[in-house]
Amino acid sequence: MFVPRIAPVSAIVLRALPWREKDRLLILFTKERGKVFALAQGSQIPQNRLAPATQTGIIATFWLAKAREFDRITDYRIERFLTRMRRDVFALAASSFVAELLELAMPMEMPDEEMFKEVLWFATKLEGDIQPVKWLVAAQIRLLWRLGWMPRLLACCICGEVIESEEVAFAPSVGGSLCGNCWSKKSLSDAQFFPYSVLQAIYSLWHQPLLMETLHMRFYLWHRALELLRNHWRYHLEVDLKSWRVWVQLNSLHLPISPLKPSQL
Ligand SMILES: [Zn+2]
């Protein structure tokens, strides 16, 4: 008799897609195997025993059985309930944002334990009273760094000179910030100007992510930081994020005067 090999994985659910009539296909980020797909059979039916574990952001141990197409979930144990994203739409948008980035950027079946640890750390941190916008900036720069896509921020990526101007040109195609001199010599179509304080904040959060609890900056500048990171991701991933639109729309609805114009969508 054929007995399928079943092995447990520690995982966070990045996304749950409806699959066929009654199933869900989960995109998991696991400690043991990196990104994997796993089928939760029957989990679109509310009373199905796998249903509670098939939601974005669930942290659980899943027992996976090897199957021809996708691994099949045979059992699970929820390790942590993240509750803030169920009551705070900004926290939900921020965590979905990072889930989308992980789904796009992480290769299949390539374990990265340090990345996994960091993702869990950030997931747990969002449960506190941290501002989702700061959390999102910190999580993104740490992710970029772990993926080897860390931009140069406080020094010119061409000549290495320390940047001192108040407004800084940032071009993902050359790796980040440019000094005035190099900027004037190059014509880079993807360059955009950002306040120095934005670059400094991103750098500080990369260096010490816990500063997201205390670092202060005008709200508008946090959104500039997200724009910079968005440009950088777009260059590396070659797609625009669905989460970015959601995030901008959400913030436009909730801000009395929106600093984000429709043209920035
Ligand atoms: Zn330079």
Q: Are 247 and 93 in contact, with CB atoms under 8 Å apart?
A: yes
The band of 264, judged by pLDDT with boundaries at 50, 70 and 90, is very low
Whether 104 shows a pLDDT value over 60: the answer reads yes
CA 155 to ligand 1 centroid distance, Å: 8
CA 196 to ligand 1 centroid distance, Å: 15
Q: What is the pTM for the complete model shown?
A: 0.91
In DSSP terms, 36 is beta-bridged to 28
The residues spanned by each domain of the chain are 6-80, 84-264
Instruction: Give the Cα separation of 16 and 210 in Å (integer).
Output: 30
CA 183 to ligand 1 centroid distance, Å: 7
Of residues 254 and 217, the one with the higher pLDDT is: 217
CA 158 to ligand 1 centroid distance, Å: 5
The band of 187, judged by pLDDT with boundaries at 50, 70 and 90, is confident
Distance of CA 143 to the CA centre of its chain: 7
Determine the angle formed by the axes of helices 219-237 and 196-207, rounding to 10 degrees: 70
* Matching fold, domains 6-80 and 84-264: no
Identify the CATH homologous superfamily for domain 6-80.
Nucleic acid-binding proteins (2.40.50.140)
Closest by alpha carbon to 246, among 82, 92, 139, 135? 92
Instruction: Give the Cα separation of 34 and 221 in Å (integer).
Output: 34
CA 182 to ligand 1 centroid distance, Å: 4
Class of domain 84-264: mainly alpha
